[in-house]
Amino acid sequence: MALQVEKSRITNPIDFDRAGRQAGYLRAPLSRNTSGWGVVEIPIISIKNGSGPTVLLTGGIHGDEYEGPIAISYLARSLDPAKVQGRVIMIPAYNIPAVLNDTRLSPVDNRDMNRCFPGNAKGTFSEMLAHFLDGHILPLVDVSVDMHTAGHSFDSALSTNMHYLPDADMRRKTMDAASAFGAPYNTVFWGVDEGATFTSCVERRGAISLGTELGGWGRVNVEGVRIGRRGAENVLKHFNVIEGSPETVQRDGSRGTRHMMVRDNACYSFAPSAGLFEPTNVVGDAVKAGQPAGWIHFVEDVDRDPVQIDYRSDGVLWMSAGPGRISRGDAVAVVMSDYEDALAAG
Ligand SMILES: [Zn+2]
């Protein structure tokens, strides 16, 4: 039985059942001082042909993460409908007020949209966007690739990511999709605050959910764009939506994706006080528990020694602090270790 979905206040110009290429704007109402009946326009592209699965590509759910929006826009401009078997729905910059504002949070309601799912049709602007994506797009979708970077918070090793899924079949299918995407790493993780994320909605609806972390610092990572563009096409190839085999040669000439996991709290190192953070490593470096992750400096004080922060587990540096000036309680390093199914399940 189909679930009853509350009507959205967002208008949608796309007929998802129609074959061919359609491009236009979702229009989300936003009453403002200068335009009581104003809308926010969100680009959306749908390409459908023949029969096959539906793949959803989303970017810009956080506004300061640019590699995904660029990669999806390239694909949206170039994908030939005649070469598609199935349907590809592309929303390159969904949280467009945040994308245009260069911020993680929406400038409209100051919310992190990726903590607003499954949303609320009558809620705040971010909740309304979340509700439309969950209630009106996801029911069509077999595979979701939601492209993120670490924004201003961190730099990230170029990676896909997924939750640890208790269902072994879905776990295997998702890891296979990650291998096809072909980032240098795929990180299986147990999130800190995951109930209200988009990924959790995709999983609840039984679709395959893949995320990415393709850079950070609010800049555009050259290799992140390359991996993102290639990964989007690789996923379409993997699910036979377009012809061809995934191409996974990495920048260093190696081939394929290293599967990793972030299993517990010991993977994170937090700042015990505010200050200027000097990291010791770049993302992708091998690190060991007990080694310094970096030092917090207090340049406003004469002769005050820096405070050392240590790694708490062995592995590869996945995330490294983005801003130089950090606050007490900020995570400054996240370490991933090689994925082991038996260990993960435990
Ligand atoms: Zn993000």
- Is the sign of the CA dihedral 336, 342, 345, 346 positive or negative? negative
For range 66-92, the mean pLDDT? 98
- The mean pLDDT value for 294-315 works out to 97
* Phi, psi (rounded to 5 degrees) for 170: -65, -35
Q: What is the pLDDT of residue 29?
A: 97
What's the whole-number mean pLDDT along residues 262-290?
96
Over residues 265-278, the mean pLDDT reads 95
Mean pLDDT of 180-195: 86
Report the distance separating Cα 52 and Cα 248, nearest Å: 24
**Residue 87 in tokens:** 């349907």
Contact 108, 121 (CB under 8 A): no
**Considering all CA atoms of the chain, what is the largest pairwise distance in Å, rounded to the nearest integer?**
71
User: Quick check: 67 pLDDT over 80?
Assistant: yes
DSSP 115: G
pLDDT of residue 195: 81
C-alpha of residue 66 to centroid of ligand 1, in Å: 10
Which structural domains are found in the chain, ordered by start? 20-262 (3.40.630.10), 267-336 (2.40.50.100)
Please tell me the distance between residue 251's alpha carbon and the centre of ligand 1 in angstroms: 24
- Each residue's pLDDT tens digit, 17-56: 999 999 999 999 999 999 999 999 999 999 999 999 999 9
- Rounded distance from Cα 219 to ligand 1 centre (Å): 13
Q: How far apart are CA 98 and CA 113, in angstroms?
A: 10
* Residue 1, pLDDT score: 43
CA of 148 to the centre of ligand 1 (A): 4
- What does the alpha-carbon distance between residue 296 and residue 329 come to, in Å, rounded to a whole number? 13
Distances (CA, A) of 175 to 143, 183, 192: 13, 12, 21
Distance CA 225, CA 317 (A): 20
Instruction: Give tens-digit pLDDT for 197-209.
Output: 999 999 999 999 9
Give 122's DSSP letter. Answer: T
CA dihedral 110, 115, 119, 123 (to 10 degrees): -20
Place of tokens 């959910």: 209
155 CA to middle of ligand 1, Å?
12
The alpha carbon of 255 and the centre of ligand 1 are apart by a number of angstroms equal to 26
First to last CA, the chain: 35
Percent of the chain with pLDDT over 90: 92
Q: Is the pLDDT of residue 2 over 80?
A: no
User: Does the predicted model carry a pTM greater than 0.85?
Assistant: yes
Please give the share of the chain, as a percent, with pLDDT higher than 70: 97
- Within 10 A of 296 (CB to CB), how many other CB atoms are there? 19
How does pLDDT run across 130-181, given as a tens digit for each residue? 999 999 999 999 999 999 999 999 999 999 999 999 999 999 999 999 999 9
Mean pLDDT (whole number) for 106-134:
97
Identify which has the larger pLDDT, 345 or 63: 63
| Average pLDDT, integer, range 317-328 | 94
